[in-house]
Amino acid sequence: MTFVLTEEQGMLKDAARDFVSEQLSLTHFRAQRNAGANGKDPESWAAMAEMGWYGVLIPESYGGSEFGYVGLGQVLEAQGRTLAASPLLQTALVGVSALVLGGSDAQKETVLPKIAEGKLTTALAVDEHAHHAPTQIAMTAVADGGGFKLSGKKTFVSNGHFADLFIVAARTSGKPGDTSGITLFMVPRDTDGLKVTELNTLDYHGAANLEFDGVVVPAADVLGSVDAGWDILDPVMDRARIGLAAEMLGLCEAAFEMTHEYLQTRKQFGQLIGSFQSLQHRAAIMFSEMELTRSCVAAALDALDAGRDDVAEMASLAKAKASSLAHLMTNETIQIHGGIGMTDEHDAGFFIKRARVLESLFGGEGFHRERYATLIGF
């Protein structure tokens, strides 16, 4: 297990934090929100492409730096600190992983260089109901001529309101609940029969519902093998979970720093409120819980880079712990700020809103407790 960053990883972390605090500050986020951007910020994304962040996981032969998951985790953690809306998680982590794990050479050649340059974004479409339940996929993909015909719907697809290319999990055989019989398809946004409904979400990041009405997908756009999509989908979702955990860790750090600052400036009864023992203890508990979660996130990212066989357990551990921490941290942030924390003018509300979305994406604490128990064997 490696918990100490290499020099290069440390440099990437510093660069990401500098970039985020300069160009993707909370002030910027608020301005975007006020302008009704709904999470679409192409100018910032172009700057991120300049930084090379879309290519962190892409092999050098396809235009990336192949720098690894720990490295990308540093960037995601940094962007979590200012709640920045970007395609990094869905594209640089999820989309790239799906192609690297399951894509043919031709598919990689077509897609990866464009991602590296920041010219193509992706979104993984899995869930179909109100909760994350990836085995319950019911959407059908029926063999049709040389390809497949997709029918059904996908809900709350993160980044789906702007992504250029959808990676869609549909059922080529079996029934909801089965892991076999799922196949992954690459479906461009402008494909006939695909209807995208943009959603305005709690966190101002946006998302989309997708409806597929007999959408024709050529066989060449199947990612991985027919009926065996789960073998790619499951590890790809684990990468998403670990990435989300890193992003939530960043969110928690920033929420904690904001609260810590307030404890040291706000006075009541002629004293700094941070001198009250009841608040000191709560701050100490928040900080201690954050240290515990930090270890889980670091270990999960390391497990990915090291190719260890416990990635699934580590992903559920990191996602469950980070979700639980984000919940605690954002609730306490509002409570400790008191009335000002309830106002739209203050940033505390942005944190709790973003946290609730991140907590639920790719499974909340309950989902991952259940999954962890199953993985461990009870």
Partner 1 sequence: MADGMDPTLDQFRAETREWLEENCPPSMRTPQTEDEVVWGGRGEKFKNPESKLWLERMASKGWTAPTWPKAYGGGGLSKEENQILQQELKRIKARVALNSFGLWMLGPVLLEYANEEQKQKFLPDIVQGKIRWCQGYSEPGAGSDLAGLQTKCEDKGDHWLVNGQKVWTSYADQADWIFCLVRTDTSTKHEGISFLLFDMQSEGVEARPIKLISGSSPFCETFFNDVKVPKDQLVGRLNGGWEIAKRLLQYERSNISASGFGGERTGIPPIYEIAKKYVGTDAEGHLLDNDLRMRLSDLVMSEKAFKLTVARMAEQSKAGEEVGHTASIIKYAAAKFNQYKTEMTVETLGYQGLGWEGEGFSEMELHAPKAMLRAKANSIEGGTSEVNLNVIAKRVLGLKEHKG
Q: Based on C-alpha coordinates, what's the Rg of the chain?
A: 21
Q: Which residues of this chain interact with partner 1, rule CB under 8 A? A: 1-4, 260, 263-264, 271-272, 274-277, 280-281, 283-285, 287-288, 291-296, 298-299, 316-317, 320-321, 366, 369-370, 372-374, 376-378
Please, which residues bridge with residue 217 across strands? 148
Helix (H, G, I), strand (E, B) or coil at 52: coil
172 within 8 A of 226, measured Cβ to Cβ: yes
**Buried-state track 95-129, b at ≥16 Cβ within 10 A, e below 16:** bbbbbbebbeeebbebbbbbbbebebbbbbbbbbe
* 194 or 273: CB nearest partner 1: 273
Shortest CB 264 distance to partner 1, Å: 7
Shortest CB 105 distance to partner 1, Å: 38
* 4 or 35: CB nearest partner 1: 4
Helix (H, G, I), strand (E, B) or coil at 150: strand
Backbone angles phi, psi at 182, to 5 degrees: -95, 140
Residue type, 27: T
69 within 8 A of 235, measured Cβ to Cβ: no
* 3 or 173: CB nearest partner 1: 3
User: For residue 86, which of 131, 130, 56, 110 has the smallest C-alpha distance?
Assistant: 56
Residue type, 224: G
Shortest CB 238 distance to partner 1, Å: 15
CA triplet 22, 25, 27: central angle to 5 degrees? 125
Helix (H, G, I), strand (E, B) or coil at 125: strand
Query: How many Å apart are CA 120 and CA 359, to the nearest integer?
Result: 26
User: For residue 245, which of 293, 303, 311, 302 has the smallest C-alpha distance?
Assistant: 293
* 38 or 293: CB nearest partner 1: 293
* 141 or 254: CB nearest partner 1: 254
Q: What are the tokens at 160?
A: 């789906």
* 22 or 287: CB nearest partner 1: 287
Shortest CB 275 distance to partner 1, Å: 4
Shortest CB 26 distance to partner 1, Å: 22
Shortest CB 373 distance to partner 1, Å: 4
Query: How many Å apart are CA 358 and CA 340, to the nearest integer?
Result: 24
Q: What are the tokens at 247?
A: 């992003």
* 30 or 369: CB nearest partner 1: 369
Shortest CB 246 distance to partner 1, Å: 15
Shortest CB 320 distance to partner 1, Å: 6
* 27 or 288: CB nearest partner 1: 288
* 292 or 340: CB nearest partner 1: 292
Shortest CB 314 distance to partner 1, Å: 9
Residue with tokens 């993707």: 24
